[in-house]
A = this chain, B = another copy of it.
Amino acid sequence: VLHLLQTAWSGPAIPRVVWEYGEVSLVKFSETGVSNYSTLLLNEDRGVLYIGAQEAIFAVKMTDISNKTSEVYWKVTERKQKACAAKGKSRETECLNYIRILHEFNNESLYVCGTYAFQPTCDYLSIKNFTLQGRQEEGKGKCPFDPAQRYTSVMVDGELYSGTVYNFLGSETVILRSHLRTEYAIPWLNEPSFVYSDVIRESESSLDGGDDKVYFFFTEVSVEYEFNSELLVPRVARVCKGDLGGSRILQKRWTSFLKAKLICTLPESNFVFNVIQDVFILKTPNWKETVFYGVFTSQWSNLEVSAVCAFNMSKVEDVFSKGKYMQSATFEYSHVKWVRYNGQVPTPRPGSCINNEARTLNVNNSLMLPDKTLQFVKDHPLMADPVKPIGNRPTLVKKNANYIQIVVDRVRALDKKLYDVMFVGTDKGLLHKATNYGNEMHIIEELQIFPDSEPVLTLLLSKGDKKNLYAGSHSGVVQVPVAFCEKYRTCMDCILARDPYCAWNPQNKICTWITKEDTHESNLVQSLNGTAAACRAEDVESASTEEYKVKPEGFQELKCLPMSRLAKVTWKLNNKALSENSKYRVVQNNLLFSVTEEDSGTYDCWTVETVKGRQYEQLVKRYSLIVEGPTKVLTTSPTAP
C-alpha cells in the first residue's frame, strides 16, 4: 500500500523512427463520394483485395490497390431510408447501407452483408461479373443494425459464425450460426463488444477425435467482479463446429459455449488492461503451437495507455477442457454473487466438443447429450480460471496511444530465428511496428498512414514474399509495405533499426529487404540485438557535404534531421564540439547562430545512439559554410568597443 507511488513503467517505448504522412510513399484507394472503408477481404490466389465501404464494394489489385478492377454499388431504397429515419435514426449517416461482412462463400461468389438502413441484409456477389445476385437474406444476427456497433464474423466451410446485435434496439446480443445461438441470459453475454473471431482446425491434429472450434473475442460487463461501477472484462469464448444444439434443454442453442477471462496486466503495478480491442491469430500447422495477440486498453481510458499481450491457444483449451467452472449463488433473495464451483461435474464434460470419450458413452452428437450436462453448461458458461499471457506480462506497453487494430507477421531473420513483428494501428491513424527482443520492447517505426489522424478501422496482412499491409479507414484504404529498408541510408541506421526484414549489403552499401534466399547469404549484415560494430568507419562518416554560401548578416539555421528519435545530437565546427552559448543555440536539433565573417568552416551534426550500453556515433549532416564579403561598403566610422 505504501510503495505504490514508486512503481514505474518498464520503458519509454518511443518509436525509433517516425515517418510523417507523405514521407514514405503509400499506395492509396478511395472513390469520390464513398466513405467508411471498413471491411477488407484478401484473396491472394486471385491477387485481389475486396473492399466493403458505404453502399459500395470494390475489387482492386492487391499489388497496387489504386488499380480498381471492379465495383458494385448497393444502395438502400428510398422507402427503406424513410422508414429508418422515421424510427429516429439519421437519414444522412445511419440510414445507409454500410458493408460490414465480406467473406469467400465459394469459388464463384462472395457473401456480403450490410447494415441496410438499420435492417441488416445479406446477398451473394458473383466474382466473375461482380454483380449482386439478388438472393437477399435476412442479416439480423449476422451483421449489426447500427454502423457504430462492433461485431465479428467468420465463414467456416460455408457457414457464417457471427457475434453481433440481434435487434433494432441493440439490447439482444448473440453468437450465432444459422439456427443455433447463445441464450439471452446475462451469464452468457453481458453487453458484449465483439472484436474478433476465427476457426482453429483442431480436428486435423487431434488425438482424441476432437472437433474444430470457433473462437470469439470480446469485452463485456463482468458478472463476477464489482467495484464502484461496472467493471469490464476481456473474454475468449468458443463453440464447436459440430454443435447441433440440445434436444430438450438448449434446443437451438449452443451446447458448447464456454468463455473465460483474458488477463493482460502489468504485474509490478497491477495495472489492468481490461478492454480488448482486436486480436490476431498466428496459426501454425499444429494448432497447439498457435499463438494469438490481443491489443488492450484500459476501461479508464482517459489515461491513453495500451498494451499487447500474447497468449498460447493451448492454454485457452486447457482452461475450457480441464478448468473449474464459475457458479452463481443468490444471497438474501436478491444479491447474485459468482464463485468457483467445487462440486461434481456431470459427464460428458459440459461444454466440451463431441470427442472419442463422448462417443464411447454413445454420445455421437450434441443432440444426444444428457440433460444433466446440458443444464450444467446452461448455468455455468463462465470458467473460473483466467487465461494468462505468455511471460505473465504484456509484450508491449505504450503510453499516450490507443491501440485498436493489430496484425502480426512471423519473420525468419538472417540468424534463421523466427521473430514476431507486431503492426498496431491507433485511433489517430498511426501504425506502430514493434518487436519484443527478450523482454525488451522496441518500436521500430511509427508511420502516419492517414492524413487526418482518423482511426485505423481494419488491418490486413498479405502472405507471400514481399508482404503488404492493407489498412482501412473512414476516408480510404492504404497499402503499406511491411518494411522501408531502402530508407535507411547508412549501415548504422540499417543495423540500429533492428528491423527483421532489413539487412545491410556492404558491397552495394544499401539496406536491403531480405528474401528467403538471403538467409543463406553470408555477406549481408543484420544484428537484431543492436550491435552495430560490423559497420565500418567509412560508413559512419558517410554523410554528404553540403556547400553553403552565406553573407555575414542575418541569422542562420543549419538543419539536422537525425533518423532516430533515440539518438542525441551534437554539433561540431571544424571537428571541435560546439557548446550552446551566446553565439550558438540548438533548437530542435538545428544549429542557430548569427553569421559573421569569421564563421566559415565545416559544421557537422553528429548523433549518439545508445543500445544496450554501447554508444554509436554517426555523422548525419556536414555543411561547408563559406561566408562571402558584405553586400555593401560600410561608411560608418569605428566606435569604441
CB nearest to A149 among chain B residues: B2
CB nearest to A218 among chain B residues: B1
Residues in B neighbouring A300, C-beta threshold 8 A: 269-272
Residues in B neighbouring A302, C-beta threshold 8 A: 7-9, 266, 269, 271
CB nearest to A553 among chain B residues: B596
Q: Are A2 and B229 in contact (CB under 8 A)?
A: no
* A592 beta carbon closer than 8 Å to chain B: yes
Binds B, one of A196-204, A429-437, A625-633: A625-633
* A585 beta carbon closer than 8 Å to chain B: yes
From known contacts A302-B269, A633-B637, infer whether A332 and B339 are also in contact, taking CB-CB under 8 Å: yes
Q: Are B629 and A636 in contact (CB under 8 A)?
A: yes
Interface residues of A in 312-347 (CB under 8 A from B): 327, 329, 331-332, 334-335, 337, 339-343
Residues in B neighbouring A269, C-beta threshold 8 A: 300-302
Q: CA of A632 to CA of B637 in the docked complex: distance in angstroms?
A: 7
* A115 beta carbon closer than 8 Å to chain B: no
Task: Give the interface size class of chain A.
Answer: 35 or more
Taken residue by residue from 231 to 260, chain A's Cβ proximity to chain B (1 for < 8 Å, 0 otherwise) reads as: 110000000000000000000000000000
* A119 beta carbon closer than 8 Å to chain B: no
Residues in B neighbouring A638, C-beta threshold 8 A: 629-633
Q: Are B427 and A5 in contact (CB under 8 A)?
A: yes
Residues in B neighbouring A340, C-beta threshold 8 A: 332, 335
CB-contact partner of A555 in B231, B232, B303, B593, under 8 A: B593
Residues in B neighbouring A402, C-beta threshold 8 A: 5
Residues in B neighbouring A305, C-beta threshold 8 A: 303
Interface residues of A in 99-158 (CB under 8 A from B): 148-150
From known contacts A272-B300, A555-B592, infer whether A263 and B228 are also in contact, taking CB-CB under 8 Å: yes
Q: Are B270 and A229 in contact (CB under 8 A)?
A: yes
Interface residues of A in 245-300 (CB under 8 A from B): 263, 265-266, 269-272, 275, 297, 299-300
CB-contact partner of A594 in B4, B219, B555, B637, under 8 A: B555
* A226 beta carbon closer than 8 Å to chain B: yes
Quote the shortest CB–CB distance from A98 to chain B (angstroms): 15
Residues of A at under 8 Å CB distance from B?
A: 1-2, 4-5, 7-9, 148-150, 191, 193, 219-221, 225-232, 263, 265-266, 269-272, 275, 297, 299-303, 305, 327, 329, 331-332, 334-335, 337, 339-343, 386, 402, 427, 553-557, 582-583, 585, 587, 592-596, 628-639, 641
30 residue pairs bridging A and B, Cβ less than 8 Å apart: A1-B193, A1-B220, A2-B148, A2-B149, A4-B275, A5-B402, A5-B427, A225-B226, A225-B227, A227-B272, A229-B272, A269-B301, A269-B302, A270-B299, A270-B300, A303-B303, A329-B331, A331-B339, A335-B339, A337-B337, A554-B594, A555-B583, A555-B585, A556-B594, A587-B587, A594-B595, A629-B636, A629-B638, A631-B638, A631-B641
